[in-house]
Every structure is written in structure tokens, then in C-alpha cells.
Amino acid sequence: MPTRLFFLLLLLANCPTVDAEPVVVVAAQQATERLSREEVANIFLGRYRALASGLPAQPIDQPPASALRSAFYQQLVNKDTASINAYWSRLHFSGKATPPLQTTEENEVIRQLLSIPGGIAYVERKQVDQRMRIVFEFMPRVTHESRVNP
């Protein structure tokens, strides 16, 4: 299964029609440098709410209907939006786990990210600016790659 997943990702990455390319970011002033996919999944799906620095993390979701949200979860845990919603619905009644902070529009995500300490969100790559730092990306850029792995 991981192999198949890998191929799928590869396909997505090379497909020019896919314009949504979510990357996980934190506020730039945060100490967090890098997160693994697993850490990202744990944070966004309610398993942990703490960063490596010890700070509690507050995941911020894109609006429920956004294509980015769908793409993010799809790429992260290979689940569609309905599954993620069902998951949270189940936890909603029994558990103490809470879903990520829900937003209503795209811009609110960045605002919340920058305002909430420990905030962590996923945005379109092209939305990333100096205020935020990429801590996880599904498809690292070739430049990044060449730089990281000389």
C-alpha cells in the first residue's frame, strides 16, 4: 500500500492540472522547523496537540468545501472529505478529542495562523510568504531538494 501511495503521489505531482498544492505552515516566529507527515497527521486528526517544542499546537482547517482541504486530507491520509467528517462526527459524541479549528473562508486561515500561538495550518504553496514557514510539504521542490540533498 505505501508503494501504491507513492506512485499515486508521484502522478499527482507531475500532473500539471492539479493546481492545489497544500503545504503545512506555521507562523514564522514559531520555533518549529520541520514536521514529519506522521506528526502532521497526528496533529490534524486529533492524536496529539503538542509540538516538538512543547507548545500546544492548534491545527486550523480550511473551509469545509474548499478544494485545498480535500486535497490536503487526500494527500495526507488518503481519505476524502466525507470520511474525515465522519471521523470527527464519531469523536464528537464520545471523546475528548477536538477537531481542528474550523474556518469559514480562506483568508481567515492565515489570519488565525498568525494570531493563535501554536497555530498550524495548510495553505496553497503560492500563498506562502515571509510570515509563515513551511514545516511539511508533500512534494518538495526540486530546488529545495537539490539544496537539501547536494
Partner 1 sequence: MRAALTRDGILFRSILVTLLAFALVGFATLAYTVQTARSAAEEQSRVRLEQLLDTVQSTLRVACFVKDQELAREVASGLLSNTEVLRVTIHEGDNQLIDLQRRRTARPDAANALERSIHSPFIEGDVIGRVRLVPDPEAIAGQVRAEIIERSLQLTWQLTLIAGAMVVTLLFFVIQPISAISTELHRMDPTAGDRLQIPAGHAKTEIGRLVRDVNALAGRLVHALDEEHALRLQREIDERKYHAIFDNAESGIFIVDRDGRLASWNPALARLFGIVVSEQAGGSMRLDALRWDKPEIIAELLDHAFTARQPSTREACLERTDGSRCWLDIVLSPVGDELLQGIAHDISELKAAEATARRQALIDPLTGLANRAGLEQHLSNAIRQQHRQPGAGFTLIYIDLDRFRLIIEGIGVSAGDEILRAVAGRLGTTVKHNDMLARLSADIFAVILLALHDDETIGRVTERIMAALNQPYLVDGSPVQLSASLGVTRFPDDGNDAPSLLRNAELACDKAKAGGGQRSEFFDPALAEAAEQRRHMENDLRQALREQQFELFFQPIVDIAAGRVAGAEALIRWRHPERGLVPPDRFIPLIEQSGLIDGLGLWVLDDACRQLAEWQRAGRPHYLSINVSGRQIPHGLPPAAVAEALARHGIPASRLALEITEGILLANIGEAQAWLQAVQALGVRVYLDDFGTGYSSLSYLNRFPLDTLKIDRSFVQDMATGNNAHSLVIAIVAMARSVGLQVVAEGVETAGQLEILSAIGCQYAQGYYLSRPVTAADFPEVASEIDRRLATPGA
Interface residue list for partner 1 (CB under 8 A): 1-2, 38, 41, 45-47, 76-79, 87, 90-91, 94-97
Q: Which is nearer to partner 1, 53 or 78 (CB)?
A: 78
Q: Which is nearer to partner 1, 80 or 105 (CB)?
A: 80
What is the phi-psi region of residue 124: left when phi exceeds 0, alpha when psi lies from -120 to 50, beta otherwise? beta
Q: How far is CA 19 from CA 13, 24, 74, 84, 108, in A?
A: 10, 16, 14, 22, 21
Q: Which is nearer to partner 1, 15 or 82 (CB)?
A: 82
**Taking the complex as a whole, how short is the minimal distance between the CB of residue 107 and partner 1, in angstroms?**
28
**CB proximity list for 79: less than 8 A, separation 6 or greater:** 73, 87
**Taking the complex as a whole, how short is the minimal distance between the CB of residue 71 and partner 1, in angstroms?**
16
**Taking the complex as a whole, how short is the minimal distance between the CB of residue 108 and partner 1, in angstroms?**
26
- Give helix 67-77 / helix 37-44 axis angle, nearest 10°: 120
